[in-house]
Amino acid sequence: MSKADYMLSILWILQQHKRTAAELAGELELSVRSVYRYIDALCASGVPVIADAGPGGGYSLPEHFSAAPLFFDAGERRALVQASAFARGSGYPYEQALEGAIAKLKRYSNAEQLSQMERHESGLETLHSPAAPLAELLEELEACTADSLTLEMEYRKGSGGFPSSRCIDPYGLVLWKGQWYLTGFCHQRQEVRSFRVDRIAGLRRTGAGFIRPASFSAREFLLQSLLPGQNNPAELTAVVISAAEAVLNDLCSHWLFGHTLEQRSENTARFLLDEATLYSYAPYFLLPYGKALTIREPAALKKKLAEVTAELTAYYNES
């Protein structure tokens, strides 16, 4: 076993009850000297090992240590505190529990480890779009997703109006562009659909359950609904754009163009878009780039962009 494996084994044994160095050596088939070395390493990593000398003595852990996290290496500690930064402000429903876990990790770290974690924690921050407080809804949706419980949902459409009631089998939650989406089987439509969580006016458990389809991905379903036609290449149109490398990098970082990119060179990119997206969305996104990029094909997209530009020019000339 590796050093970390032996340290973890000693930790698990001491969580059961007190052991002497000789007992630990016998159970792990180690020399007593090796046991001393691994105990020292545990102490250095922040584990509060208690050493009692004399008859009836041995090594033990404080009673409260059952609530302490397992020891982590420097990279794992850094990853945990930085991952928590991504969750803060995103609407993640268990932010308080996450903060408690990070506080526990810090509480059982030594001064050097704590200083290192705080340096890495302060060096990475995120900005999230302001969103409605949805913690209670997200907690219930996540719990029912995990336990496969059917929900009765009061839902408002984007056009407004009174909420309508429908039963839904929640398959998963997705955070996209600052908005939370629920994907699940809608009993009213008899199909899998996605719903914006901020439009949910109420939830009630029905007492019924369901079986979630194996390998279902809420993320992939939402992405496919945003990119219609991707499963049928015959329905897609090639869009070829030339620009400086930095401009193409920025264009390809956009969710639509990034996921429809087929081929890329330093100054040219080829995308595959469905017709509806090509003429109803792409021109308005490409417009702000102005002369920084050139549409090589299709000609119809260049014509549509010219029409959009002419309409905007006429509108502002009139106003």
Give 137: exposed, middle or buried? Use CB within 10 Å, 0-12, 13-18, 19+.
Answer: buried
Q: Which run of H or E residues covers position 14?
A: helix 3-16
Residue 226, pLDDT score:
81
- pLDDT computed for residue 268 by the predictor: 96
* Beta-strand relationship, 160-176 and 50-52: unpaired
| Strands ordered across the beta sheet of 191-196 | 191-196, 179-186, 160-176, 149-157, 200-209
pLDDT at residue 291, as a whole number: 92
Task: Report in angstroms the alpha-carbon separations of 279 from 35, 104, 301.
Answer: 70, 53, 7
Q: How far apart are CA 41 and CA 58, in angstroms?
A: 17
Instruction: Specify the pLDDT at position 242.
Output: 96
Point out the residues of the chain with pLDDT beneath 50: none
- With tokens 């309508």, the residue in question is 164
Q: Which two tokens stand for residue 131?
A: 């969103």
Q: What pLDDT is recorded for position 14?
A: 86
pTM comes to: 0.70
